Every structure is written in C-alpha cells, then in structure tokens.
Structure 1
Amino acid sequence: MTLRLPVDDILSDLKTALRAAGRAVLQAPPGAGKTTRVPLALLDQIAGRIIMLEPRRIAARAAAERMAEATGSEIGGLIGYRIRGEARVSAQTRVEVVTEGILTRMIQSDPGLSGIGLVIFDEFHERSLTADLGLALVLEVCEALRDDLQVLVMSATLEAAPVAALMNDAPVITSEGRAFPVETRWLPRPLATGSRLETETAALVRQAADGTEGGILVFLPGEGEIRRTAALLADKVPGCVVQPLYGAMDFKAQREVLQPLSTARKLVLATSIAETSLTIPDIRVVVDAGRARRARFDPGSGMTRLVTTKVSRAEATQRQGRAGRVAPGVCYRLWSKAEEGALPAFPPAEIESADLSGLALELALWGSDEGLKFLTPPPPAALLAARELLRDLGGLDAEFRITDHGRRMAALPLHPRLAHMLLKAGRPAALTAALMAERDPLIGAPPDLALRLLALRDPEGYRRRHSFAIHGDTAARIRAEAKRLSRFAEGDQGLTEAQQVALAYPDRIGLRRKGEAPRWVLSGGKGAAMAPGTPLAGARLLVASDLDGDAREAMLRQAIAISEAELREIYGDRLQWQDVCDWSRREGRILARRRQSLGALVLEDRIWADPPPEAIAAAALEGLRDELRQGNGLPFSGAALRLRRRAQAALEAGEDIPPVDDDSLMASAEEWLSPALTRIRTREDLRGLNLSEPLQLYLGYQAVQRLEALYPSHFTTPLGRRIAIDYDGDQPGIELRIQELFGQTTHPVTGPARTPLRLSLLSPGGKPIAVTSDLPGFWTGSYADVRKDMRGRYPRHPWPEDPRAADPTLRAKPRGT
C-alpha cells in the first residue's frame, strides 16, 4: 500500500486550477511529497510531455528514479531525466526531469516548446538565476506563441503572492502540514565570540546522537567545513557511519548516501544540496549549523567570491523539514531562539548578486529582454558589466547585439569566458576549461594553474617532481568533463596553456608593479597580490584565473605565468600606442610619455620628446588644479593681483563683470589660461606664472576698459610718476615718499567718483611714517611732529616748515649744503 502524503489532499484542487487557468503556484512544506506525486497526478490531463526542473543534478536523478519506481517503469521509459552530460529519455517519455539550464537550451533552440504541455518549476524557493530566467522565458512563450502551455511553480518556503502576481494572478494552492511533526531545539544562549563552527557543530552532533534515534543529517556551508567536522567526529559517535554529501562528489558516492544502511546509523554531513527534494532514508534528526555559502559578484571588480552568511528563516524551515520526511523527528539549531528573529526572512535571489554574463548572453540570444517578466529584475549595473565583458569576448557587438561567435558561445555548456576560450583555442583548451570550471584538484599546492594542468595531463610525471597530493575524484571528474567538452571544439590553434587562459580572462592579465612585494595591476584596472615566496611571485606577467574578489586588491588563488611574446601573439590587435602628457603630483612636474598599452597594462614606456603645446597646457592646468586641491590659491601677484582686486571692488559695487574667485576662474580656465601654460614644466613654473594678461583675457576688453575708467590702476603724482593703486581693503590707497606730495593742498582722489585715496607716506628710506585720508589736515597737524623727527634722521632731505608752499621732489640736498 502506498504511503499517503500531505500533497495528496490537494491534488484534485491543483488539477482543477490548472484546467481553469493554465497556471498555478503550489506551496507545499518539506516532506509533503510534491516532487514525485504532482507530475504523475497530472499525466492524465496534460497533452504532451511534462518538463520538471530541479535545481541540482542529484535531485533530478533521484526524483526521476522514485517516479519510475512508483510507476513500475524503467528510467528512460515513461519517466526520464536530462542533466549536464547525461540523458535518459526516449520517444515514450512523458515526464522529463531536467536541471534548470537544460530548459533554457530547449527554449532557445525551440521557442515554441513543441510537444510540451506543462513546465513545472520545482523548489523555486531557491531562486537560482537559471530558474528565474527559465520562468521569464516560459511566460513569454505562453503569451507570444503557446497560450495552451501550462506552467506550475512549486515551492516549500517561497512567498507565493509575488509569484502568482507575476503569472497573471495565478491561483495559489497550499498543502498544509508535514508528513510527521518535528521538534525544534535551540541553544540555551548564543555561541561565544570566536567559537569555531566545526567544533561547536561536532559537539552539538554528539549531543543529538546521545538523545535521539535514527539517522542524523547535519547542514554545513561547504566541503571544507564538512571535512573538518568529519575529522572531529571520527570514532566519537558510536554506531554511526559518517557520510559526506556535497555537489562536487561524483554521482556514485552521492547515490550511496541515498541508500539505507542496514547495520548502522546514518550520520550525513551535507551542504544545502540536501535542502531540496532529496529523501535520505532513515533521517529523523537534523543538526543545522545555521550557515550558507553564497556567490556574490562585484561588478566593480568583475570578480565573484563565495561568502558564508547566516541562513534565512525560510532555509532553516526547509532544513528542519528534512527531519520529518519518514518519521517524527528532532531539529537541533546552532543558535539561540532569541537570535532567530534577526535572521532574514528569505535568502537573496541569485540574480541580485551573481555574475550575470551567462544571463546577458542568453538575453542577447533571445533577442531582447524588453517585456520579460522577472520576479527580481537583474541589477542594471551588474547587467551592463556582463554585457561589456561579452563585448570584450566578441560575443556581443558594440550595440550589445549577439554575434555569430556569441551564438556559438551560448550553445556550449560553459561560462561565456570558457566557451570563448574553447572556441578560439580548439580541443587542447578542453582540459583547461574543465579545470577552471571545477574545484581545485590539488591539495595545499601554490596558486600555479600550470601545476594543476601538469597533474592532469601527466600524473606520474607530476608526482616525480611535486609532493602536493592530487584529489583523485576531482581529477577524474575534470578529465571526464574535458573529454566531453572536446566534442564541442574544433581544431588546434597551437596556443599555449597561458594563452588559453588569457583568452578567457582578457581583463585579468597582470603586470607586476615595481617593488619587492608580489603585486600586480590587472588589465581591467584592478589590483592583485600574492603571498611572498610562492613560485609565481616573481612573474612579470601572469593571468589570474581565480581571485578572492576583494574590490581593492584581490588575492590570487590561481594564476599562470605568460610571456610578453605570448601575449602579443593573441592580443596584438588590442595593443595601443598612447601619447600621455600628465601632471605628476609626486614629482611636481609634467611627464610626457609614449606608451604601448593593453587595457590598464603599460607594456612599453618611452619619453615623448615633443608633445604639442595643447597637451602641455592641459597637463599644466591639471597641475594648477592639484595646487588648488592642496589648499594653494591661484598664483596672483603684482599687476595681476591688483587687477583682480580692482575687479573684486567693482563686483562689490554692483558692476556687471565676470566673477574673479578661484572657482569661477577655474571653471573656464581652458579658454583663458591655456595660452599662458604652454611653457610650463614644473611646479615652480606654475607658482611663478604671470596671470596679468590671462586675467584681462578672462575679463574681456569691455570689462577691462570699464575698470580702468571707474577704478584706475595708477595715480599720477605731482612729479608725473605713476603709482599703482591698491584696492585691497575698504579704501583704495597708494604708497609714496612724503616729499613727492609737497605743494599738494588738496587730498588726492581717483576715478570719476573722485574717491579719496588712503595715503601711506614713506620716509626717504622707504619706511612708513604716516597714514592719512586728509592731506590738508595732516599738513596743518601731524606734519610738525613728523618734521621734527625726520630732520635728524634725514638731514640731506628737505623738511620745510610749510610743505604746502614747497616744491615736490625726490632728490636730496647737495653735499655740504
């Protein structure tokens, strides 16, 4: 007798909803049985095949095998599956379980989805990028080509309302309850700061094993944590067999985990791979370490890094449900109940933080993303960065339309970088592509990609020369994938391994910076570094195939050395000579160079002996701006400074002339100042710049003439000598020797407004002796005291009793008089 599952209670409602609307959203908690029961229940009312998407290969195979078993058929008959590198389908197949990328290829090759009556998106709560794209494409197919195509979205923890709204208000069907109840146990208090995740998880696993029965499923963020936790649990949990489960394992090892143990208790250490529609036999206990590993792409650096974050409440619920699939269970959480409220409700959609180059290529192949319905639209900045990369790889043209090369790239089961490399380099690049798409096959080795390729091509030769262990399963998987990929490539272009990698990463070619530290500038403009002492630390040029994603200066995790000759051979058409005339703040002078560049890399640098005047002027102007940024003003002095003060005085009086503050002057400096900068070379030249003529050019002829009329530049003394008027302050003023004003009975004035001048009277030795704005009053008042003091100091100069009646002079008396 078949065990009844919660989803069975709503199958009739689901069938009715699909018949009426052609679309539906099914919410069913973990353990409800939606993955295996729903497709079979819908077979009798769907004309054509049912395609069901699963987020992972192991889940796709397991779901197909369970449905085949339930129907008493063989895989490839009524029930089949198709995953990367493997297909078990036939003309008789009615239900085909596929991984998400397979659907995209099906739609791109046959937009009408001929022969398909229903597409089911299972475990949609995981919000993978390919699932979001697949749903958007399917909905457009329904609207444009196939109004009879039915769509069903199934999820354990997803908020249903937004998905239903996206699908034109599709009906939502909910399956209540799990198959069996699960008791949840939290830590009494939060973990202490600095606690190691593996140590605390191992301790919680031992506690769970002592107080429960049945198999134990432990959720950890990644393979590294699984291995370290397994080492801590070795021989310390009596009666349990420790079994790892993660995506990089081969299918045989994964399938063994899904088989029951007859003589021992299962203790499965798994990544989030076990959150999906896998039923692991005998599991009645879940230990959740509360962490998830997510890929985050930084469009600014063009790099993706894996980050470990806390799980969301939805993920915790999904994991908890694993304990109630076959019997009542218990879930232990490695956090306190008080901490639970701070967890995010749902995990971020992959489209929000992933590398979007694959999505951008699929959208270009589709023709347009205009009108596509995404549950979460792709971030514009990340999508633009992806399109620019594809344009750099030749997959898109200048207007971001797909090229013939881009169509061939999209047809390959690879990241666009690796697809481009395989198409350009030919079959020998298949191993390089497979290696860069997989985890590291060497254990503890330095970050040299060539070392890994040697280990894969010649394991025996590698072992004779190197002591770093080869991870056998990973190496075998890479070789198998390389064999499969070689079928997609043609010919052999004779490129070296380094050239192959450079084809995939044109933006990550690194040129070593000057200095002892192993640091490189990358062709994309970012920085990279490596720990000193590693074999690649001295490489002048390298290509980075894996970096940690730090936006400022990423650490190199894998790279390969490349020679300049190799680089020129494949990127000779991208090398550009640039004439550069720049201001060097560090050296305080203009540097004129001729440089041959590849992106941000300068491969050749020569002196530019004869830069044109306009280049010199532009560099000098940047030097002047740099001086202003450092708090230094424009170098006004002498006549230029006086002209500026006159202009300021006119502005304060309400005259209509251009403003003369530094910001206003610099806003149009290219127009009025550049002609005066063509002979500038150093900071000293800038600081000694005569700005008098350039400032007149800035003010314009009419304004200068008006200034001369209203605010004259000079005062003419009784001796006919012109003295510059200082307009700095509340009152214009001049400085002159007192004897030069003898005979002056009225106070000197300037301009048509006859503005009184402030007189700074000087001794014959040029020292200030008096300041007055009333010369007649000075002659009758203070002059007598000045005369008394000055006669003794300057006896050879005239000091008449009545200066009003004396003649002006600048001469001394003849000796002896």
Structure 2
Amino acid sequence: MNAKREQEIKSQPVYSLVPTLRKHLFRGHTVLSAPTGSGKTTCIPLLLYCEAWLENKKILLLEPRRIGVRAAANRMSSLLDEKTGTTIGYRTRFETRLSTQTRIEVITEGILIRMLQNNPELADIGLVIMDEFHERSIQTDLGLAMLLDLCTLREDLRILVMSATLDMEPVSKLLGNAPILEGQGRTYPVTIEHLSSTTQQSIPQTMTAGIRHALGETSGDILAFLPGAPEIHRCRNLLEKQPGKELILPLYGDLSHQEQDRIFHRDNNRRRIILATPIAETGITVENISCVVDSGYFRRPVYDSRSGLSRLVTLRISRASAAQRAGRAGRLAPGKCFRLWDRAEEHNMAEQTLPEILHGDLAPLVLELALWGVNTPDSLSWLDRPRKTNWDRAVQLLQKLTLLDSQARISRTGREVAELPLHPRLGLMIVSSKKHNLCWTACLLAAILSERDICKGKTNSADILDRLKTVDDFESGSDSNTFIDRQLCRRILTQAKMWFRGFPGKKTIDYTSVGSLLAYGFPDRIGGLRPGSNYHYLLSSGRGCRLKPADPLQGNKTLVIPQVDGEKKSGRIFMAAPVSLDNLRQDHSHLFHESELTVWDENSEQVKTTRDLMLGKLQISSRPVKTSHPEEIMAVFLKAIQETDLQCLPWSREAVNVQQRVCFLHHQTEDWPDLSNTNLAQDLTWLEPYCFGMNRFSQLKNINMKTILLSLLSWEQQLQLDTLAPTHLKVPSGSRLPISYAVPEKAVLAVRLQELFGLSETPRIYGGRLPVTLHLLSPAHRPIQITTDLGSFWRTTYGEVKKELSGRYPKHYWPDDPLKARATCRTKRNMNTPHG
C-alpha cells in the first residue's frame, strides 16, 4: 500500500477506533456502530486482516446485496493497488473472483450459509464481519444464528457486527454482552425540506415533480429513492418527456453489473439523476451526490401464513431509513434532502423497519436448519425468534413437499434440494425432473420464476410457456421481439446452466410437461376452474384466485399457478401453466385421495352422500353412494335444521302457542325451560329421536311440534301450564278471548271496551300474581288504550273516551257509569236479545 492510500485510510473517521477494536476482537465478539460514510466497510477489514490472533485465517465480509459486494471488494483492492481477486476477493451467486492469495473475501449472506453447510467448521476463517446488519434479511438472522451455534465449538472464531442505524444493545446481549464501539461519521449537514404530495398523483408523478423542483434548487447530482423498478421506469419516462441535459440512471437489483456500475462513473459535463430502489440506502457510496429526493416508500413481500402466499406491499419507510437516505446527500459536502411527505406524517412512521424474519416466508430457513441438524427454533439464539405460526406453516409445507419427515427431520430428497441455492419449491422441481429426463426444462422454469417477469408489460397472458419460448428463442438467436430484455434473458440462462451442471439429459424443452413439472413444487397451487366462470379458480389449498378476463389462459379447466398474489378474497394470477388431469394422476398420484362425503344439498333440501375424488380441496369427480353411517346423516340433517333457525319445522298454531306460553313462564322464573328458537337451536338433541331415519325436510311434516315441546316439560309443569298461563280468559260479556304471549315479558288480552263494563279490576294470571296487559278496543276493533290498571282507566280516562266514541259509534251503548253497566258485545238495538 503506497503512502497516499495509507493516508486515505487513516483519514477515515473510523480509524481512531481501530486500536480499541483490535483489543476487543482479541478477546471475543464485538459490535460497531458508526454512521454512513465513516469508512467502516472498506477500512476495518484492511486494518485487521494481518492481526496475529487471526493466525493467517481469512476474514469474511458480509454485504446484503451483490452490488455492495462488488463495490466493497473493488474499493479495497484499489486501496491496496491490486486487482480484485488478489488479497481482496469476492463471491456472489453468478461471479467469483478469488485466488490462493485472498485474505479478505466479500460475500453475500446466502453464500455464507452455503459455506457453513459445506464446511461446518469454517476452519480457514478467523473473523466474520456482518456489515449493514440493520437491513435484517432472513438470511442475515439465519447466518448469525448459525455462526453463534458454530462458536460453541470454535471459541477462536470472532464475529464483528457493524451497523449505522440499528440499536446495538440487543445485538451486544445476543453476542454474550459484547462491547459496543461507537464511531463518528464524516457526514456534512443536510437540510431537510418537506414537499407535500397530493393523493391524486402516483408515486412516479410526485417524484418527477420533486426532482424538477430539486434541479432548480440545487447543483450536483441527485439521488432519488423509489419503491421499486416499475416506479423507476415510469419516473424515467416522465422525466424524458421534458428532456434536459441531465443523465438519468436507474439503479435496482435486477440490472446487469455493467448497468449498475455506471453510477460509479461521473460525467463532468452532465448532472446525473440516479433513480434507485432502497438498494442505494447503504453499502455503496456514490460520488458527487449533493441532493436526495425521497418518496418515503419501499416495497417488500409480506407472507400470509394462513394462505401460504406472499403479496408485494408498498409501505412507508421507517424513521431510521429516512435518516439513512437523507445522509446520502451529506457524504462529501453539505447537501439537501427533499422529502415527499408532510412533516406531521413522520410521527406515525415506525422507528425501525420490521425484520424480515417476522413477516417473511420461512420455508427456506426451516430447510436450511433441518440440514444443519436443527428442527426447532428453540435450539438456536435469535435476535428475533421466528413466529411460531410462520414456522409451523413452513414445516407443514416442507412435509407436504416430502423434504421433511413427520418429525421435521430432513429427508434424503430434502438434502438434495437444500444443496441448490433456490427456494425449496423450485429446488424440488429440479430434483424431481431427473426421473423424467426433463432437467433443462425444470432449470429454465426455476430461473424464470426466480427473476422478475420477463414478459411483464409486454403481454396480457400469464402463461409461463410464453416466457419459456422467449428465453429459448433468445438462446437460439431466432427471437424477433424487439422489446425483449436481453440482460434478463442472459441472467436467466446463466442461472439455468449453473443449476443444470451435473444433471442428466439434453438441453431441450418439453413444453407439454411444464404443468406437471410445476406441480412438484406447487402441489398446493393447482387450480380448478370454478363453475360458471372462465377466469376464476379455486386452488387445491382452498384459496381463490383469478386471471385477467382477457388472458388467453382463461377457460382452461386446470392450471398450476406458481405465482399468485396473496390478496385475501381472490389473488391475481401472474404466472401459470395448463395441465391435464391425466398427467397429474400419472405423475402425482399421491396428491389424489378418495373420500366419502355426507353433505346437505340445498337445492333438493336433503342429505346426500357421495364418493369424491379430491385433489387437496379440489373436487375432481363425484358419484352418489349409499352410506352405512346413519349417525353422519343425522348430524348433517340436524345441522341443516339448525341453520334455518328451526323455521323448517312444522310449527302449528297450537305448537307456537305452547312455545310462547312456556317462554312467558320462563321469563317469570328460570324454573321453567327456555323454549325459544334461539335456545332450542343450540342443541338439537331433543329433536333427534323424532327425526330418526329422515334425510330431507319434506319428511318433517309428520312430526307433532306441540307434543315434542310438551315432552320437554316435567309432568308437574304440564299440569300447571294451563293454570299459570291459560290460553283464554272469559270476560264479563261472556266472551272467551285468547291471550297472546307473543312477547315473553307480558300476556296481552285484546278486548272491546264494552265487554268489560262492570269489571272493576284487571284480570290476573300466573296464580293471580300478574295482571294481563289489556289492549282496549273500539267497536271496530281499533286500539283505544293499553293498560294494566283497569280501575284507574274507568276513573280517569273513560269519560274522555266516551265522548269520542259515542259520537263515532252512536248505535253502541256508552253508559255514564261503566262499573254499573252490563257488559255487552252488541249494539243498543240488540242488547235485549239473548246471547246466542
């Protein structure tokens, strides 16, 4: 290292911590918290790799993203005036630059996990540095848990955790109360300005306006943060509609190395506008950035453990991320950050981004740990323990895929799949393709599903066969699609060829077997067309999903659907392949099972028993059979009765009368049973003996509900019923009138006023303890008064009522003293006529 480079390292703010850091690492694990721009990523490894306690062992530097891996390795190599791959090397999924001289190896967390599985002791490694730890991917947490497990055997292995924004106290505690070093940054002040956005504008529209504002307010290059690649492309198109001299550069994970590396090369004649995803938040330094425009959003997949599906969700960033993004404007000089949200909104933003291990798909993690020899999360030390529901769901999926046995131990197939750097679903598809000599087809499918959609925005079809043909045409040089993403095609082919090594067969594609191949990895996402629809499907897992109505795949009876959104009601299908039931039954017979099902048929209103061929929760075929289990029929029949709230039962007038009278008595005292429909429907054991042998509603007409209800009373209660709650009352006119018990709180007697002349007290029931509620009626049976105190009515109200009724009904008898008058139900003319 020449003097200039050495001075450059010494000038970094983190340099002052190195003596203390060396002492701490000599004793054990250490935690380092230092702001962005302090030099920790590139300087710390260079200042440690010659330490005597390393005993010539290597340093692993972990970066969460491939662009960060290459940038860190290239930067450190330049400080040593060496080519990358000499003292400093790196490894990613697609590229390796190492040599026998390499002492510092920069890798992603996924590479670390593969190294641990292949070389569990990491015998040639003395220090693992976990950089940008605050990003907290599932692989970050898994890698740390496995390293700590390894440290129980290798006391000489050291771990150094570095972060710019994370609260390091919990990390220190996890590492055995490791010392925390806090460094200073070399950032310059950044002025924050909030630019309120309107709800009518999309994120790209708001960002475009923000960038144009920033161009007029600042000089130097602009770094703009957007949620994902779609917003970057739309924003770029909007900016290019009003072309200027600025150079617009996209930055996201799926770009080629060459395209990503363009951001490291300045153009002294043009201002740059870099449109980036959160990939630019940490890990890389972009020269000449003096302004940041922040949309305030990021995008991540959220896993629903109930459905087993993930959906992409656009969310507000945390306050820590907002600070990290703003800091990018002050790396080299004072800068400015324009935030595209109101200042008040920051109070509702989370302090830190939720770690992926708490909301992500845990199937890859569970399989890796099973290969590691761990089948319960309690066996390892975690910063955040995986949630039990997500863990259990992952175990269930892996067992369904036959990668774990019933004890959650890894199977032989599981070991093969775990060797592939793929999601277990895709790994199983490749491993299973060997027996059909379809390895190249499977590898291409896996590569296509591992990348962003190569046909997104270019077709209305979700057919994965279109994607296969696009890649195949590109490889053969026969593609005529001018809109094809050639870089993406190359990356897909590179991955497929890498996985294809060591597998038998030729590089040919069998389009007819695609659906059946996909079913190996996605047995829970085989979709059957719903009756009456051309584009709504029911998955074998029981979830619903849909194609676009214009999708050419619509109408196919069966699809395998590897990519579908996890919306609660009906997720949208992004990629699918048609498959025949014959192929599924030939290649996946274990997915099918027969079951005898006894169900209620609403159309015929009867219980039916069928023998169904099922694929998960998909009914493939059904035929009626006679069942030898009458108890099942009875249970279904009673359930159907219950769901009608007993309205299907033959309620005669007499039965309703008994029910209402008993309910009235129950309201007075709980010694009497509650025979209301609501209570009776809760448990139909009382009805079961009367329904024996029945299986349809039409047979219920033969039962006598009055008799059944009376049987629910004791013998004493049956004798008391007519006395305590009589059906009728005889009034002074001689009429015998019915009492209504429709409302359990009271007994109602509707009677014409004239029929009560001479009666001074309100009639009583319930052993004389309760007055009936009198609905006093006019001669035309219209309500006049409601009372439970007839004597008071005669004294206070009758006079006014008489004046009104005598004028309206002059032919009727309206005496001055109703208590001395004779009760009647007739007119004056017929009063002397004897009652018939």
Q: Structure 2 length as normaliser, TM-score?
A: 0.79
Aligned counterpart in structure 2 of residue 478 of structure 1, from 478, 489, 492 = 492
Alignment check: 8 A CA contact 1:395 1:405 kept: yes
**SS, match of residue 111 in structure 1:** coil
Q: 1:235 to 1:192 in 2, by over 3 A?
A: closer
Pair 1:731–1:146, CA change in 2 (3 A): closer
Displacement of 1:8: 1.3
Aligned to 2:81: 72
Q: Where does 1:290-439 land on structure 2 (aligned, <5 Å)?
A: 290-366=296-372, 367=374, 368-426=376-434, 427=439, 428-439=441-452
Are 1:541 and 2:551 matched, yes or no?
no
Instruction: Give the alignment of 1:762-773 within 5 angstroms.
Output: none
Contact 1:387 1:400 in 2 (8 A): yes
Any residues of structure 2 matched to 1:499-578 within 5 Å, and which? 499-578=516-595
Residue 450 in 1 paired to residue 465 in 2? yes
Letter in 2 for 1:441: I
| 1:432–1:500 CA contact under 8 A, matched in 2 | no
Deviations 1:176-232 (A, max 9, x none): 23x241422313x52122123222322322332334333222211111111122222
Equivalent-residue separation in structure 2 for 1:563 and 1:487 (angstroms): 30
Checking the alignment, whether the CA contact within 8 Å between 2:226 and 2:277 is kept in structure 1 is yes
User: Normalised by the size of structure 1, how large is the TM-score?
Assistant: 0.81
Pair 421,674 (structure 1): closer, same or farther in 2 beyond 3 Å: farther
1:608 aligns with 2:625: yes
- The answer as to whether partners of 1:186 and 1:335 remain within 8 angstroms in 2 is no
Give the superposition deviation at 1:260: 3.1
Correspondence 1:592-603 to 2 at 5 A: 592-603=609-620
Distance (whole Å) between structure 2 residues aligned to residue 339 and residue 654 of structure 1: 59
Q: Could you tell me which amino acid in structure 2 is paired with residue 17 of structure 1?
A: H
Q: Which moved more, 1:566-575 or 1:128-137?
A: 566-575
Secondary structure of 1:335's counterpart equals coil
Asked if 1:153 is matched to 2:161, the reply is yes
1: CA distance, partners of 2:216 / 2:824: 114
Residues of 1 paired with 2:667 and 2:337: CA distance? Answer: 79
Corresponding letter in the other structure for 1:504: G
Q: Partner amino acid for 2:283? A: S
Deviation of 1:77 after TM superposition, in Å, equals 2.8
Change over 3 Å in CA distance of 1:639–1:790 after alignment to 2: farther
User: Could you tell me which of 206, 211, 214 is aligned with 1:200?
Assistant: 206
Distance 2:595 2:832 in 1: 69
- 2:638 maps to 621
- Give the equivalent residue in structure 2 for 1:139: 148
Aligned match of 2:102: 93
CA drift of 1:429 comes to 0.4
8 Å CA contact 1:215–1:266 kept in 2: the answer is: yes
Name 1:736's counterpart in structure 2: none
Offset, 1:657: 9.4
| Residues 1:385 and 1:642: Cα distance change in structure 2 (over 3 Å) | same
Unmatched runs of 5 consecutive residues or more in structure 2: 727-738, 748-766, 773-821
- Aligned partners of 1:422 and 1:553: how far apart in 2? 29
Deviation for aligned residue 1:148? 2.5
Q: Which residue of 2 aligns with 1:185?
A: 192
Deviations 1:756-806 (A, max 9, x none): xx9xxxxxxxxxxxxxxxxxxxxxxx99999x9999787xxxxxxxxxxxx
Between the aligned partners of 2:652 and 2:343, the Cα distance in structure 1 is 73
Deviation, structure 1 residue 608: 3.0
Partner of 1:440: 453
- Distance of aligned partners of 1:457 and 1:207 in 2 relative to their CA distance in 1, 3 Å threshold: same
Asked if the contact 1:27/1:172 (under 8 Å) is kept, the reply is: yes
Note if contact 1:14-1:173 (Cα within 8 Å) is conserved in structure 2: yes
Task: Verify: 1:108 aligned to 2:109, yes or no.
Answer: no
**Structure 1 residues 712 and 60 mapped into 2: Cα distance closer, same or farther (>3 Å)?**
same
Once residues 429 and 580 of structure 2 are traced to their aligned partners in structure 1, the CA distance between those partners, rounded to angstroms, is 18
Across the aligned residues of Structure 1 and Structure 2, the Cα RMSD in angstroms comes to 3.8
Equivalent-residue separation in structure 1 for 2:674 and 2:746 (angstroms): 20
Distance 1:17 1:633, change over 3 A: farther
Conservation of the 8 A alpha-carbon contact between 2:641 and 2:648: no
Separation in 1, partners of 2:672, 2:555:
61
Contact 2:667/2:745 (<8 A) preserved: no
In structure 2, the residue corresponding to 1:539 is in which secondary structure?
coil
Match of 2:139 in 1: 130
Q: Measure the CA separation in 2 of the matches of 1:305 and 1:730.
A: 54
Residue 707 to residue 339, structure 1, CA distance change in 2 (3 Å): closer
Distance (Å, rounded) in 1 between the aligned partners of 2:124 and 2:387:
34
- Correspondences of 1:801-816 after superposition (within 5 Å): none
* Partner in structure 2 of residue 17 of structure 1: 24
With 38-47 and 417-426 compared, the bigger mean Cα shift is at: 38-47
Q: What is the CA distance between 1:592 and its match in structure 2?
A: 3.1
Alpha carbons of structure 1 residues 239 and 635: separation in structure 2 relative to 1, 3 Å: same
| Alignment check: 8 A CA contact 2:474 2:489 kept | no
Per the alignment, do residues 211 and 361 of structure 1 end up closer, same or farther by CA in structure 2, a change over 3 Å counting? Answer: same
State how far apart, in whole Å, the 2-side matches of 1:29 and 1:412 are.
Answer: 36
Partner of 1:680: 694
Greater mean deviation of Cα atoms: 418-427 or 132-141? 132-141
Deviation by residue 1:279-315 (Cα, 9 ceiling, x = unmatched): 2233232222222111111122221121212222111
Identify which range, 125-134 or 356-365, moves more after superposition: 356-365
For the pair 1:42 / 2:45, whether they are aligned, the reply is: no
User: Is it true that 1:163 corresponds to 2:171 in the alignment?
Assistant: yes
Task: Determine if contact 2:377/2:385 at 8 Å carries over to the other structure.
Answer: no
Task: Tell me the amino acid that sits aligned with residue 367 of structure 2.
Answer: L
What CA distance in whole angstroms lies between the structure 2 residues aligned with 1:686 and 1:169?
74
Give the aligned partner of residue 272 of structure 1: 278
Q: Is the 8 A contact 1:616 1:678 kept in 2?
A: no
Are 1:545 and 1:558, in contact at CA under 8 Å, matched by a contact in 2?
yes
- Quickly say closer, same or farther: Cα 1:430–1:663, change in 2 above 3 A: same
Shift of residue 91, structure 1, vs aligned partner: 3.7
Paired AA for residue 252 in structure 1? Q
Tell me how far 1:672 sits from its aligned partner: 5.2
* Aligned partner (choices 224, 229, 232) of residue 230 of structure 2: 224
Residue type of the alignment partner of 2:295: A
Distance across 1 between alignment mates of 2:242 and 2:334: 25
* Paired amino acid for 1:32: S
Question: Shift of residue 337 of structure 1?
Answer: 3.4
Call closer, same or farther: CA 1:186–1:653 in 2, change over 3 Å: closer
Is 1:281 matched up with 2:295?
no
Partner of 1:800: none
Change (3 A) 1:789 1:487: farther
Assess, with a 3 A threshold, how the Cα gap between structure 1 residues 166 and 658 changes in structure 2: closer, same or farther: farther
Distance of 1:98 and 1:687 partners within structure 2: 78
More divergent stretch after superposition (680-689 vs 405-414): 680-689
CA distance in 1, matches of 2:58, 2:574: 45
**What is the letter of the counterpart of residue 159 of structure 2?**
V
The sequence identity of aligned pairs, in percent, is 36
CA distance in 1, matches of 2:25, 2:701: 81
Q: 1:124 to 1:674 in 2, by over 3 A?
A: same
Q: Distance in 2 between matches of 1:588 and 1:463?
A: 61
C-alpha distance 325-235 of structure 1, shift in aligned 2 (>3 A): farther
Contact 2:634 2:695 (C-alpha < 8 Å) held by counterparts: no
Q: Which runs of 5+ in 1 are unaligned?
A: 716-725, 733-752, 759-781, 795-817
